[in-house]
Amino acid sequence: MRLSGAVLAALALLAAVPPSGAASLGEAASLGEAASLGEGAPKPRPFGAECRTGVAGSAVVAYCHNPYPETDRVRLHVECDRWWDIDVDSAPVEAGPAQTVRLTGRCWEEVRSAWVSHQK
């Protein structure tokens, strides 16, 4: 039995399209991922102050604003460029809900890097 090209193309199209109500392979994979993540599980609440850090010579200033309802304990860490210059880790400062805090640190000479850590 010989089938024409048009009939073969129609059969290929029918085989490629799933019937209505059936999930495609991509949808089935995303449904499986959603089930494995536990759709009923509560999503983690957003946390963490947004911090902007600036370096001017040997001084470092960071402003951290916490837009979330939970307090964020932030610390400024400054790594100095010279091997003999002591690195700085500030004491934790509580940034309460809708609060902005200022953190400062410095090196005797150049600053290699500065960053802020967060703690619940």
* Tens-place pLDDT, residues 7-40: 555 555 445 445 554 444 444 444 444 445 556 7
Q: How far apart are the first and last CA of the chain?
A: 73
Buried b (16+ CB within 10 A) or exposed e, 31-67: eeeeeeeeeeeeeeeeebbebebebeebebbbebebe
Q: What average pLDDT does range 109-114 have in this prediction? A: 96
**pLDDT of 29:** 42
Q: Give which of 80, 75, 83 is closest to 59, Cα–Cα.
A: 80
pLDDT in tens, 45-81: 888 999 999 999 999 999 999 999 999 999 999 999 9
Please tell me what DSSP assigns to residue 90. Answer: P
Q: Is the pLDDT of residue 91 over 70?
A: yes
What is the model's pTM? 0.63
**pLDDT of 43:** 84
